[in-house]
A and B are shown apart, each in its own frame.
Chain A
Amino acid sequence: MAEAEESPGDPGTASPRPLMRDLKAVGKKFMHVLYPRRSNTLLRDWDLWGPLILCVTLALMLQRGSADSEKDGGPQFAEVFVVVWFGAVTITVNSKLLGGNISFFQSLCVLGYCILPLTVAMLICRLVLLAEPGPINFMVRLFVVTVMFAWSVVASTAFLADSQPPNRKALAIYPVFLFYFVISWMILTFTP
């Protein structure tokens, strides 16, 4: 396959790209989220594959396998999707309206990738729920979700904070906090 010279963030390229290179790009961004530094990689080479994979994984794991799923009251697959994508778009529009100089898709990319710690928390919670239920079970899950929530917020702040005007940083960061808080709540209240 021909090696294309364009940047990964460039839409509308016609030449075929090796799958492994895309996967490597996604994996590299995962690493950047897990060890957040003030780097530009997430912003420069944005892509939406990672957020899509994470969102689908999260929505699938939040499903219950039981037959009477209507009585569950938990979020449906589509509801998780709507919360994640609509929430990310709202935060992006909000930060642009406040005068931030980040592009629309760059912001979506960052917010989507920073769901990674919470997806890991969801995995851990599902494993923990295989054990016997009880207060210890809940405390472990609470601890894990809290730590991952803090990680998500810190990671996304590290990437997004610089693009905001200095006297409005808190105004732009608060919706991010709310967004990850709601996702954490969905994860924490998951009962199989």
Chain B
Amino acid sequence: MAAVDDLQFEEFGDAATSLAANPDATTISIEDPHETPKHQPGPLGGSGREEDDELLGNDDSDKTELLAGQKKSSPFWTFEYYQTFFDVDTYQVFDRIKGSLLPIPGKNFVRLYIRSNPDLYGPFWICATLVFAIAISGNLSNFLIHLGEKTYHYVPEFQKVSIAATIIYAYAWLVPLALWGFLMWRNSKVMNIVSYSFLEIVCVYGYSLFIYIPTAILWIIPQKAVRWILVMIALGISGSVLAMTFWPAVREDNRRIALATIVTIVLLHMLLSVGCLAYFFDAPEMDHLPTTTATPNQTVAAAKSS
């Protein structure tokens, strides 16, 4: 049966339905020159939207390594080597951003959107935008909170931009590095089915930070309850993207270690957002709340915290 399938040109739709019916069949897709025949459920090639519910492929690590070797064939001191990391079109970047905003249970961000074409454009410019969004929103929020105080003199606080840049870029590069090292180490002990390359992890982390850009802008609102609700929402969305991405990579491992890994990932994410909120945005004090009527709970909470 598999041999007959090999010799026929498969339509994309047929491949998907036949593979869904028989996950072990081998199909060759002629549309994507990078793909090699392998036992893998799910359609290959560009339109990966009709992915079935399996999060893993059987030889995903091999495929990743093989393609990584195939793609980046230029030596690392040439310009072309780095161009391979920017080989994305506008619609692809938008799709990846959309994927980070709408985590669908059962869909793995890396498999669905990255598909062995990790880019550095998204992580770099999302982090840059986030740095300026946090610094500018923090500045604006402090200005609005202290408006009307006689002793307050507005300063642009430009040095906070460099601090924000250090924090965000360190998070976006060092945490993926640590996570990648950890996954490599566990992979040597336990044969994991899924392993990600370093750039794919950087890519996931970079795109998962996108939700914080509108969050930072909305943090201008000087209400503590609003800010904490925003923290929860943003953490929920980006945390779930990260958790669903890395769960397949650790779930073959010892249960405790797997859970500890996922919890650490989410915890670090929360630390980043809460830390930025605390450092860049002054606490709104009771006396300077705008004329919106504060509920008694908010008033008590604000009075306790100030």
A175 and B155 CA atoms in complex are apart in Å by: 26
List the A side residues contacting B132 at CB < 8 Å: 178, 181-182, 185
- What is the interface size of chain A, counting residues whose CB is below 8 A from a CB of the partner? 26
The answer, yes or no, to whether A162 is at the interface (CB within 8 Å) is: no
By the criterion CB–CB under 8 Å, are B90 and A71 in contact? no
- For residue A150, CB closer than 8 A to chain B, the reply is no
Contact between B158 and A79, CB atoms less than 8 A apart: yes
Cα distance, A13 to B4, chains bound together (Å)? 70
Asked whether A169 lies within 8 Å of B90 as measured between CB atoms, the reply is yes
Cβ contacts under 8 Å, A103 to chain B: none
A-B pair number, CB within 8 angstroms: 62
Chain B residues with a Cβ closer than 8 Å to the other chain, count = 24
Provide the bound-state CA to CA distance between A51 and B82, in Å: 28
Q: CA separation between A168 and B86, bound complex, in Å?
A: 10
Bound Cα distance A167, B86 (Å): 13
The residues in A between 178 and 192 inclusive whose CB is less than 8 angstroms from any CB of B are 178, 181-182, 185-186, 189-191
The 8 A CB mask of B101-127 against A (1 = contact, 0 = none) is 000000000000000000001001100
Q: Are A73 and B128 in contact (CB under 8 A)?
A: no
Q: Which of A41-49, A94-102, A121-129 contacts the other chain? A: A94-102
Question: Given A98-B86, A167-B89, are A74 and B121 also a contact pair (CB < 8 Å)?
Answer: no
Are B159 and A73 interface neighbours, CB within 8 A? yes
CB neighbours of B54 from chain A (8 A): none
Name which of B90, B136, B154 has the most chain A CB atoms within 10 A of its CB. B90
A residues near B (Cβ < 8 Å) are 71-75, 79, 94, 96-99, 167-171, 174-175, 178, 181-182, 185-186, 189-191
Pull 29 A–B residue pairs with CB atoms less than 8 Å apart, ordered by A: A71-B155, A73-B155, A73-B156, A73-B158, A73-B159, A74-B158, A75-B156, A75-B158, A79-B158, A94-B121, A94-B124, A94-B125, A98-B86, A98-B121, A99-B83, A99-B86, A167-B89, A168-B88, A168-B89, A171-B88, A175-B125, A181-B132, A185-B136, A186-B156, A189-B139, A189-B154, A189-B156, A190-B156, A191-B156
